[in-house]
Amino acid sequence: MPAVIADGLVKSFGDTEALRGVSFEIERASVLCVLGPNGAGKTTAVRILTTLLRPDAGRAVVDGIDVVADPRGARARIGLTGQYAAVDERLTGFENLQLVGRLFHMRTAQARSRARELLERFSLTDAGDRAVKGYSGGMRRRLDIAMSLIADPSVLFLDEPTTGLDPRSRLQMWDVIDGLVADGTTLLLTTQYLDEAERLADDIVVIDNGSVIARGTATQLKSASGGDRVEVTVSDRDDVDRVPVVLAGSLQAGVEPVLDHAARQATLPMSSTDHVVPRVVRSLDEAGIDVVDVVVRRPTLDDVFLQLTGHRAENDTDADDDDSTSAAVPEGAAR
Amino acid sequence: MTATATPTRSGPVPSDRHVVPTGATWLARDTWTEATRHLTATRRNPELLVFATIQPIMFVVLFVYVFGGAIQIPGFASYEQFVVPGIFAQTIVFGSAFTGIGIAEDMSKGFIDRLRSLPMYPSAVLLGRTFSDLLRNIFTFFIMLIVGLFVGFRLEGGLVDAALATLLLLAFAYAFSWIQALIGLSVKSVETANSAGFMWMFPLTFISSAFVDPSTMPGWLQPVAEHNPFTIVTNATRALYNGYDPGMDVVWSLVWAAGITVVFAALSFRKFTSNSK
Ligand SMILES: Nc1ncnc2c1ncn2[C@@H]1O[C@H](COP(=O)(O)OP(=O)(O)OP(=O)(O)O)[C@@H](O)[C@H]1O
Ligand SMILES: [Mg+2]
């Protein structure tokens, strides 16, 4: 049985339909990433699965327990790190951890030793006895995650764990998440970044305007959005047209190259990006084209969106309800 | 990395880490854990407590020395015998505003959501908060009592009556914590909790017998002051501290305190759960 089952979740806030029938499953010891732009419904889905919100319709099961029927039972099995760090600033890191341990009904001694263990694991030992008020954003986030882990949850929910972090803290957070994955934690994480989903997740569910518009692995989603692209800049604008001709053999079928004469640039979908830069430079050199720059561009959430829905990833777009027909990994039965 | 719970039975211990223990003992333990959070925080930021006590000390001193000479209350040896119980009552009721502010703060910081995602008794969130505020109120009360004794206030009614009066005050303070809890749960920001929490307490405590005899107020205001529950509790405690017969005021004070507690605790719990709709 999967560790998490979301089955046709529907939730409205007044006129806002935050979720319009979202379904997914997470296998034990695997990582699912819910990917979507602002307002897509990521937090709403997480809040339903973690018993903070009641769905209008649909079923949510965590570790075999229906979260609506037995919320306290479900809470004993989940760890939640919300979108905004939920720590008590007035207390120390250690006290925060101990508090949560005790509210998970651990014995005091057990809660204390577990708290120390987690402080160490999240590189907070030195800060552990200082008030959280003086912590940096990254430290708060790490403490927040440590608090969610104190009772060894069956499933951990991380809502945008890297949003608002500087690049260094973001990398640290990825390391933390890698560690959790290595330990076999079942993880649901949400993000707005495709590269983050690709880096961390086994499976990805893309949601937009409250509906699942695609699902699959990162590779599947990327090829659905045209795969990696190579952006070639040449010195002579008349050579731009020749670039796709010279490179015809390595182009991905079915996706049109984009030629921009003014910028002297050709953007080409490549069938494979292995050793692509030397290959491109060599071929163009042999053809006598003066190459200024070659850049590999990975598809972003925006590209996936553009490909799947025909609109860019914005939070206030009115989605047509019959989209996603052209997707390579289309979401057939969302209900 | 897995800390499997193998509980040795000492005190209440759940048998399995995924089994949610139930029963009054666990409700009490959850409540106490939550209360400890606020008590630790108060200990860590004592300036909050200092300011919460400076104001009543100032009130006691100002009222007694500034108005003490000018105001004569028939039946009372001195103004301090009359006004100090009123200031006790006012301070303790004002102290309840911290309940609402604290809850609003926890909500705005997302901490309430964290608590609601834990397998604890949800009601322990509010019970723990009001309980820690009660303890804080007891502390404030004793500081005020010492200052009162210092400026000449005497427990003329003896220790038993004084203890009864103090319990009445604390029961009222607890009841008012629940009104503030509902306010804290209903507002959107800490600032609103602050102003909404204090605003109505000025008329409540001043249009009463706390500082002056209501019979000196304009005629239309007198019935308001006389039926104000705050007047009733002030009269009851004042009589007990001074060794007079409080009559039915003690009973009515208890009825008010119990009534407010039951109604506002019920409304607060309902508001707390309905936030998940
Ligand atoms: N409590 C609420 N009351 C009213 N509307 C809400 C509430 N919570 C969410 N919404 C609306 O529901 C929609 C989905 O919100 P949600 O927070 O789930 O999005 P999200 O994918 O988490 O976005 P973000 O990336 O900005 O966190 C949005 O349009 C939002 O405005
Ligand atoms: Mg969100």
**What are the Cα distances from residue A8, in Å, to A3, A20, A59, A180, B92?**
17, 8, 7, 28, 51
Are A33 and A197 in contact, with CB atoms under 8 Å apart?
yes
Q: Tell me the pairing of strands A229-234 and A65-66.
A: unpaired
- Listed by number, the residues of chain A in 141-180 with a beta carbon closer than 8 Å to a beta carbon of chain B are 147, 151-152, 154
User: Within 10 A of B204 (CB to CB), how many other CB atoms are there?
Assistant: 18
Q: Compute the distance between CA of residue B220 and CA of residue B222 in angstroms, rounded to an integer.
A: 6
Is A75 close to B119, i.e. CB distance below 8 A? yes
Tokens of A38: 């602002």
Q: Choose among B13, B116, B276: nearest Cβ to A107.
A: B13
Which residue minimizes the CA distance to atom 30 of ligand 1? A39
Q: Compute the distance between CA of residue A20 and CA of residue A36 in angstroms, rounded to an integer.
A: 14
Q: Compute the distance between CA of residue A229 and CA of residue A252 in angstroms, rounded to an integer.
A: 9
> If you measure from the C-alpha of residue A213 to the centroid of ligand 1, how many angstroms do you get, rounded to a whole number?
18
Ligand nearest to the CA of A210: 1
Name residues contacting ligand 1 (CB within 6 A): A 13, 16, 18, 36, 38-44, 83, 192
For residue B116, which residues of chain A lie inside 8 Å, CB to CB? 51-52
Is A105 close to B20, i.e. CB distance below 8 A? yes
Domains of chain A with CATH codes: 4-222 (3.40.50.300), 226-298 (3.30.70.100)
pLDDT at B96 over 70: yes
**A233: β partners:** A265, A293
ipTM of the modeled complex: 0.85
For residue A50, which residues of chain B lie inside 8 Å, CB to CB? 117
Express as a percent the part of chain A with pLDDT over 70: 88
Ligand nearest to the CA of A207: 1
Would you put residue A205 in left (φ > 0), alpha (ψ -120 to 50) or beta? beta
pLDDT digits (tens, 9 = 90+) for A227-251: 678 889 999 888 888 888 888 877 7
Q: Choose among A53, A105, A152: nearest Cβ to B119.
A: A105
Are A156 and A148 in contact, with CB atoms under 8 Å apart?
yes
Q: What average pLDDT does the structure give for chain B?
A: 86
Q: Choose among B2, B7, B30: nearest Cβ to A103.
A: B30
Are A228 and A270 in contact, with CB atoms under 8 Å apart?
yes
Q: CB burial class (10 A; 0-12, 13-18, 19+) of residue B274?
A: exposed
The minimum CA-CA distance between B167 and chain A, rounded to whole Å, is 30
> If you measure from the C-alpha of residue A43 to the centroid of ligand 2, how many angstroms do you get, rounded to a whole number?
4
pLDDT digits (tens, 9 = 90+) for A147-184: 999 988 889 999 998 887 788 888 888 888 888 888 88
pLDDT at B7 over 90: no
* Residue bearing tokens 């223990």: B21
Q: Compute the distance between CA of residue A41 and CA of residue A45 in angstroms, rounded to an integer.
A: 6
Q: Which helix (H) or strand (E) holds B231?
A: helix B229-242
Q: Compute the distance between CA of residue B162 and CA of residue B142 in angstroms, rounded to an integer.
A: 12
Indicate the length of chain B as a whole number: 277
Q: CB burial class (10 A; 0-12, 13-18, 19+) of residue A164?
A: middle
Q: Compute the distance between CA of residue A51 and CA of residue A66 in angstroms, rounded to an integer.
A: 10
For residue A100, which residues of chain B lie inside 8 Å, CB to CB? 114, 118
Pocket test for ligand 1, best of A9, A13, A22, A315 (most atoms within 8 A of CB): A13
pLDDT at B9 over 60: no
Pocket test for ligand 1, best of A11, A22, A42, A158 (most atoms within 8 A of CB): A42
The minimum CA-CA distance between A145 and chain B, rounded to whole Å, is 11
Contacts of B185 (CB under 8 A, 6+ apart): B103, B104, B107, B268, B271, B272, B275
**A214: β partners:** A206, A330
Are A173 and A162 in contact, with CB atoms under 8 Å apart?
yes
Disruptive mutation site among A43, A105, A143 for chain B (greatest number of B CBs within 10 Å): A105
Q: Tell me the pairing of strands A155-159 and A78-81.
A: parallel
Residue type, A284: L
Which residue minimizes the CA distance to atom 5 of ligand 1? A13
**Domain boundaries along the sequence of chain B:** 50-275
Contacts of A68 (CB under 8 A, 6+ apart): A54, A55, A59, A60
Is B114 close to A100, i.e. CB distance below 8 A? yes
Q: Compute the distance between CA of residue B168 and CA of residue B257 in angstroms, rounded to an integer.
A: 8
Assess A44–B contact: CB distance below 8 Å, yes or no.
Answer: no
> If you measure from the C-alpha of residue A41 to the centroid of ligand 2, how many angstroms do you get, rounded to a whole number?
7
For residue A85, which residues of chain B lie inside 8 Å, CB to CB? 110
User: Is the Cα torsion angle A100, A103, A105, A111 positive or negative in sign?
Assistant: positive
Are A260 and A240 in contact, with CB atoms under 8 Å apart?
yes
For residue B31, which residues of chain A lie inside 8 Å, CB to CB? none
Assess B34–A contact: CB distance below 8 Å, yes or no.
Answer: yes
User: Within 10 A of A17 (CB to CB), how many other CB atoms are there?
Assistant: 16
Assess B116–A contact: CB distance below 8 Å, yes or no.
Answer: yes
pTM given for the model: 0.82
3-state secondary structure of B135: helix
pLDDT at A318 over 50: no
Span A98-117, average pLDDT: 94
For residue A107, which residues of chain B lie inside 8 Å, CB to CB? 7, 10-11, 13
- Listed by number, the residues of chain B in 43-102 with a beta carbon closer than 8 Å to a beta carbon of chain A are 44-45
Q: Choose among A52, A95, A114: nearest Cβ to B116.
A: A52
Q: What's the pLDDT band for B67 if we cut at 50, 70, 90? A: confident
Q: Compute the distance between CA of residue B227 and CA of residue B250 in angstroms, rounded to an integer.
A: 14
Q: Compute the distance between CA of residue A95 and CA of residue A88 in angstroms, rounded to an integer.
A: 9
Are A226 and A269 in contact, with CB atoms under 8 Å apart?
yes
Span A262-277, average pLDDT: 83
Indicate the length of chain A as a whole number: 335
Q: Compute the distance between CA of residue A107 and CA of residue A95 in angstroms, rounded to an integer.
A: 14
Are B90 and B63 in contact, with CB atoms under 8 Å apart?
no
Considering only alpha carbons, which residue of chain B is nearest residue A113? B3
Q: Choose among A78, A84, A106: nearest Cβ to B110.
A: A84
pLDDT at B50: 82
pLDDT digits (tens, 9 = 90+) for A11-31: 999 999 999 999 999 999 899
Contacts of A318 (CB under 8 A, 6+ apart): A209
Are A196 and A162 in contact, with CB atoms under 8 Å apart?
yes
Please tell me what DSSP assigns to residue A252: P
How far is the first Cα of chain B from the last one, in angstroms, to the nearest whole number?
36
Q: Compute the distance between CA of residue B24 and CA of residue B47 in angstroms, rounded to an integer.
A: 35
- Can you spell out the DSSP letters for B204-216? HHHSSTTTS-GGG
pLDDT at B130: 96
Rg (CA), chain A: 23
User: Within 10 A of A281 (CB to CB), how many other CB atoms are there?
Assistant: 14
Residue type, B97: A
Cβ pairs A/B, distance under 8 A = 103
Ligand nearest to the CA of A315: 1
Are B75 and B158 in contact, with CB atoms under 8 Å apart?
no
3-state secondary structure of B22: coil
3-state secondary structure of B70: coil
pLDDT digits (tens, 9 = 90+) for B215-244: 888 888 888 888 899 999 999 999 999 888
pLDDT at A310: 61
Rg (CA), chain B: 21
Are B267 and B180 in contact, with CB atoms under 8 Å apart?
no
Q: What's the pLDDT band for A226 if we cut at 50, 70, 90? A: low
Tokens of A301: 């959430």
pLDDT at A183: 83
**What are the Cα distances from residue B75, in Å, to A209, B96, B244, B263?**
73, 31, 10, 37
Considering only alpha carbons, which residue of chain A is nearest residue B7? A107
Is B20 close to A183, i.e. CB distance below 8 A? no
The minimum CA-CA distance between B26 and chain A, rounded to whole Å, is 8
pLDDT at A301: 64
Span B41-52, average pLDDT: 82
Q: What's the pLDDT band for B62 if we cut at 50, 70, 90? A: confident
Is A103 close to B33, i.e. CB distance below 8 A? yes
